[in-house]
Amino acid sequence: MQPQKTEQFTVPIGPQHPALKEPSSFLISVDGEVVTNAIVRLGYAHRGIEKATESRTYVQNLYLLERICGICSHIHGTAFAMGVERLAGVEVPPRAQAIRLIIAELERIHSHMLWLGVGAHQGGFDALFMFSWRDRETVMDLLESISGNRVNYSANVLGGVKFDLTAAHIGDILKALDYLEERTHHYLKVVTTDASFLQRTRGIGTMTRHQAEVLGAIGPTARASGVLRDVRIEAPYGAYVDHPVTTITDDRGDLEARFAVRIKELFESYRLIREVLDDLPPGDIKTRVKRKIPEGEAAFRVEAPRGELFYFIKSDGTDIPSRVKVRTPTICNMTSVVKLAVGHQLADVPMILAGIDPCFSCNDRMVRVNRNNGSDGWTWEQLRQHGIEYYKQRSQDYDPLVVG
């Protein structure tokens, strides 16, 4: 029989679409029900934040950068604050470091529970969505009572944190963690045993370890494919130096593994918070940082709930940064969605997209290559060579990357 001549059809999704809470646009070519190509169109949430940092003071930028993303707001603030503190050469008191860690881990819990709900919702499992969001309110209450705001906590100041933890807070946190731990065990069981849900996740969107490395996946998405990539381990910062984390990896690389990895990370967060609360260092919660930051450059990496978050800050000695560059985790994982979607059913695409825990407001950074004045882009090899030389010159001991 002759193969039927099939017609390609392109389905536009977004930017305003009920399945996506954020504006983003996908052009998905399908052959029947099977995806043959996917194109992402970004930039609906591009606000020009990096440019705006160049006209605001460091203090103002702390809040501006925190609002790059409302879900992982604290970690953006922390990365910027720590970078600036490194430039200014101030030592942050240990208690402030510990509080930063606790809020960062609470944020990770809230982010992962949020994602669990959204992921389940995309798979049509609304009961799990509703219940996980119900339990997420426990964390939101904690964050609100500690910081005074449910989402953009604004806990950081340059040189420390704004809020101290009282004994009442510690009691509340411990109580909430017990409740959450019990619920999380239940959710882990649900996503790994519920037959109808497994049909939507098992073997869908499988990314091999090799693919994950080549596509540059990071965060839980990479860890679900067996790639151990976690800044908290590669280059511990702040209180993570004294409180090491164990990373959870999974070799299967499909959606089920991504669910499992993220849920298991919750247990790690619970353990870490308990450990830090156990011996919370006494003392001050902030030191003074001068308004004018000494000249220099700093790069800072932290582990956001979605993966590695990178900040580059350049100061020219005034109270306004001369350049801030942000690289967010979602943009690194986006390529994997485009690659993995090919060959799957159209109905699986939202699940695959949800699997990387996308955050488009983080995503929409922009780089403009000005080709008119002869500054062509560099090839990958040139860039690599430049990087190697640059670090040789500065005899910088770069943290060895653990790859493979």
Partner 1 sequence: MKFGMMFKDVSGALFKKPFTENYPAEPTETPDRLRGSLVWDPDSCTGCGLCARDCPAMAIEIEVIDKKAKHYQMTYHIDRCTFCGQCVESCNQGSLVMEGGEWELASLSREPFTEVGERPPLVVEETE
Partner 2 sequence: MSSNLSKPWQAALDQITTWARINSPWAIHFNSGSCNGCDIEILATLTPRYDLERFGIKLQGSPRHADVLICTGPVSRQARERLIRTYEQMHEPKFVVAVGACALSGGIFQGCYNVMDGVENVIPVDAYIPGCPPRPEAIIDGIVKLLGSLQEPPADETDAGETIAAAAGEIAAAPHAGSEHG
Rounded to whole angstroms, the Cα distance separating 300 from 312 reads 6
Is 56 among the residues that bind ligand SF4 (CB under 6 A)?
no
Q: Is 198 exposed, middle or buried (0-12, 13-18, 19+ CB in 10 A)?
A: middle
Angle at the Cα of 223 from the Cα atoms of 139 and 104, rounded to 5 degrees: 30
* Helix, strand, or coil (residue 24): coil
Candidates 138-146, 249-257, 327-335, 370-378 — which segment interacts with partner 1 by CB under 8 A?
Answer: 138-146
Q: Which residues bind partner 2 (CB under 8 A)?
A: 15-18, 21-23, 43-49, 51-52, 55, 63-64, 67-71, 73, 114, 117, 129-131, 133-134, 137, 140, 149-152, 359, 361, 364
* Spatial distance between the Cα atoms of 49 and 148, rounded to a whole number of angstroms: 25
Count the site residues for ligand SF4 by CB under 6 A: 4
Give 128 or 245: the residue with its C-beta nearer to partner 1. 128
Interaction between residue 164 and partner 1 (CB under 8 A): no
Shortest gap between Cβ of 189 and ligand SF4 (angstroms)? Answer: 34
Concatenating the DSSP letter of every residue in 88-146 gives HTPPPPHHHHHHHHHHHHHHHHHHHHHHHHHHHHHTT-HHHHHHHHHHHHHHHHHHHHH
Residues 91 and 85: their CA atoms lie apart, in Å, by 7
Integer Cα distance of 395 and 247 in angstroms:
30
Of 15, 43, 94, 144, which one interacts with partner 1 (CB under 8 A)?
Answer: 144
Amino acid at site 141: D
Contact between 70 and ligand SF4 by CB under 6 A: the answer reads: yes
Q: Judged by CB under 8 A, which stretch of 10-18, 36-44, 156-164, 296-304 contacts partner 1?
A: 156-164
Q: How far is the CB of 60 from partner 1 (least distance, A)?
A: 4
Cβ distance 254 to 238 under 8 Å?
no
How far apart are CB 311 and ligand SF4 at their closest, in Å?
19
Binding mask 11-50 for partner 1 (x = CB under 8 A): ----------------------------------------
Q: Which of 56, 67, 292, 365 binds ligand SF4 (CB under 6 A)?
A: 67
Is 149 a residue that touches partner 1 (CB under 8 A)?
yes
Question: CB-based contacts of 370: which residues, under 8 Å, 6+ apart?
Answer: none
Q: Which residue has the tokens 């065990």?
A: 185
165: three-class secondary structure by DSSP: coil
Q: Of 159 and 305, which CB lies nearer to partner 1 in the complex structure?
A: 159
Q: Of 152 and 335, which CB lies nearer to ligand SF4 in the complex structure? A: 152
Residue the block writes with tokens 């934040």? 49
Tokens of 373: 């004045």
Closest to ligand SF4 by CB, 136 or 264 = 136
Q: Which residue in 25, 37, 152, 322 binds ligand SF4 (CB under 6 A)?
A: 152
Residues that bind ligand SF4 (CB under 6 A): 67, 70, 151-152
Residues that bind partner 1 (CB under 8 A): 56-57, 59-64, 66-67, 125, 127-128, 131, 134, 141, 144-149, 152, 154, 157, 162-163, 186, 189-190, 193-198
